[in-house]
Structure 1
Amino acid sequence: MILASAPTAITWLVLVLAALCAGFAKTAVGGIGLISVVLAATVMPAAESTAAVLLLLIIADACAVARYHRHADWKLIRQVVPAVLPGLLIGSVLLAVLPDTVLRRSIGGVLLFMVALQLLPLPHTPSANRATATVAGLGAGACTMMANAAGPVMTLYLLARGLDKRRFLGTSAWFFAGVNLCKVPFAAGLGLFDAQMLLRTLILAPAVLLGALLGVTVVNRLRQQLFDRAVLAASAVSALALILL
């Protein structure tokens, strides 16, 4: 294991940064949430880091729902949800059978692929067919189970639906709150939770809350296009680092 039983100061610093990013992503732009995955995976085994980030994201989800709950588009959520569970099952199987090194590089590959998809021109149309919603649900379920990396999948889908900023954030908040809670039994079944991880999550919770508050402040002040480009660049660098580690 990369993470010792008694985490070092550097390990704690990395985990605090991951917690800040998790909170910031949920109340601002989700793409930066990939950085939480990358940071945690640099100081923990890949499978364990996925579970640790999941707990941080659940806290961040609560912050996002509290802030944006009135702006969700429930019609879009209902279109995607039926395919999420099969996606979670696929991701859970891969998480259980892949070796740590392979999983770490797979996470990097998934993130890099998602970033590349974000760069493609997207059709801004008010309608999307059932097949698109199914693909988005499967991809979100599998990617979030393996790497907590469903953000780019849903970003593509929601951007294609032409949502404004608040509807986008509200829909994402409720969707991921539900998805991440559904992932808990899968991760627990894989033996990824223990008392030490739960205690560490409680210690890191204030950092998640601080990140969420920063996100609320920034999202209304920073131009969305510029912010999206910065997040995509950071995500690409992080994904490449994971692949090369």
Structure 2
Amino acid sequence: MELSWLFISLACLVTGFSKFSIGGLGLVILPLMMLAFPGPEALGVILPFYLLTDLIAVMTYRKNINWKVLAKLLPFGAIGIAAGTYVLGTVDPSTFMTFLGILIFALLGLSLWLDYHPLPIFTHPWAASFAGSLCGFVGVIANGAGPLMGLFLLEQKMEKSAYVATRVWAFLSLNLMKLAGLLSLGLINTETLKASAVGIPALFLGMWIGYKVFARISPEQLKVIVRSMISLSAAHLLFFKSN
């Protein structure tokens, strides 16, 4: 029990740090939580404290929201979430962990490739349908929509304040949609809510660390650290699954 609490607290610590600093650490958070809750149930533990940090973020960023971009993005996000929810409801935990490990490695490969190659699809007139659907699906399955959402919003050529505000409102909206899907699958229940409550102190500690420490770490250092953590997490899911 104590070890499970440690992994839950670590996942919450990373969540708080991610939300209030660099973002995009969802691919690390889910495998950490799965050390305490193997299988899709980990998503049910994560979502409540994601919603908590989203609410704090939207209270902070209430101005300059690009509602036009959100109106194009969110309907397709709902389609992706519905598809991801269906997949979650049809796979067994072992298959889910294998699929998740492969998906995480694929997303990591995409991020490495994008360092050296642009992705023109995010400037296409139908970019919102592609980005929204993929963010919804990957957000449900791998908790890893952050980098994809960032790529799409950056291509909309908004000023910095509009980018930040639109991003946090997009994630609050998508996570509320995910809430309905996870509730329908029974992945959010009394047990997962108790586990979520365990991590709240670590969540707020992570927010404070993210706010204080972010400016002292170079973007290149962060990129190496994050990608190393993602690789180790995916390898654990693929090669060290419990029977």
TM-score by length of structure 1 reads: 0.86
Query: Quick one: structure 1 residues 101 and 205, their matched pair in 2 at CA, closer, same or farther if it must change by over 3 Å?
Result: same
Measure how far apart 1:56 and its partner are: 2.0
Kindly tell me: are residues 12 and 30 of structure 1, through their superposed partners in 2, closer, same or farther at Cα, counting changes over 3 Å?
Answer: same
**Bigger CA drift: 107-116 or 214-223?**
214-223
Query: 42-51 or 162-171, which moves further after superposition?
Result: 162-171
Amino acid at match of 1:132: A
In the superposition, relative to structure 1, how do residues 95 and 165 fare at CA in structure 2: closer, same or farther (>3 Å)? same
Aligned residue number for residue 85 of structure 1? 78
In structure 2, the residue matched to 1:190 is: 185
1:222 corresponds to which of 217, 220, 223: 217
Distance 1:223 1:163 in 2: 24
In the alignment, residue 118 of structure 1 is paired with which amino acid?
Answer: S
Specify the alignment match of 1:146 in structure 2. Answer: 141
Q: 1:28 aligns with which of 15, 21, 33?
A: 21
Q: 1:103 to 1:196 in 2, by over 3 A?
A: same
The match for 1:105 is 98
Q: Verify the 8 A CA contact 1:24 1:213 in the aligned structure 2.
A: yes
Is 2:124 the counterpart of 1:129?
yes
Query: How far is 1:165 from its partner?
Result: 6.2
Q: Does the aligned pair in 2 maintain the 1:69–1:173 contact within 8 Å?
A: no
Native 8 Å contact 1:84 1:137 kept in 2: yes
> Of residues 186, 199, 205 in structure 2, which corresponds to 1:204?
199
Per the TM alignment, residue 46 of structure 1 is displaced from its structure 2 partner at its CA by 1.4
TM superposition shift of 1:96: 0.4
Match of 1:175 among 170, 178, 189: 170
| Structure 1 residue 71, shift from structure 2 partner | 5.8
Runs of at least 5 residues in structure 1 that lack an aligned partner in the other structure: 1-7
Normalised by the length of structure 2, the TM-score is 0.87
Measured in 2, the distance between the counterparts of 1:220 and 1:76 equals 29
Identity over the aligned pairs, expressed in percent?
Answer: 28
Q: Is the 8 A contact 1:34 1:149 kept in 2?
A: yes
SS in 1 for 2:217: coil
Deviates more, 1:11-20 or 1:201-210: 201-210
- How far apart are 1:164 and its partner, in Å? 6.8
**1:124·1:161 contact (CA, 8 Å) conserved in 2?**
no
Separation in 1 of the partners of 2:179 and 2:126?
27
> 1:149 is paired with a residue of what secondary structure?
coil
Q: Is this contact kept in 2: 1:122–1:160, CA < 8 A?
A: no
Structure 2 unmatched runs, 5+: none
Aligned to 2:151: 156
CA RMSD of aligned residues (A): 2.3
Q: 1:116 maps to what in 2?
A: 109
Kindly indicate whether the alpha-carbon contact (under 8 Å) linking 2:12 and 2:203 is maintained by their aligned counterparts in 1.
yes
User: Taking structure 1 as reference, are residues 72 and 26 closer, same or farther at Cα in structure 2, changes over 3 Å only?
Assistant: farther
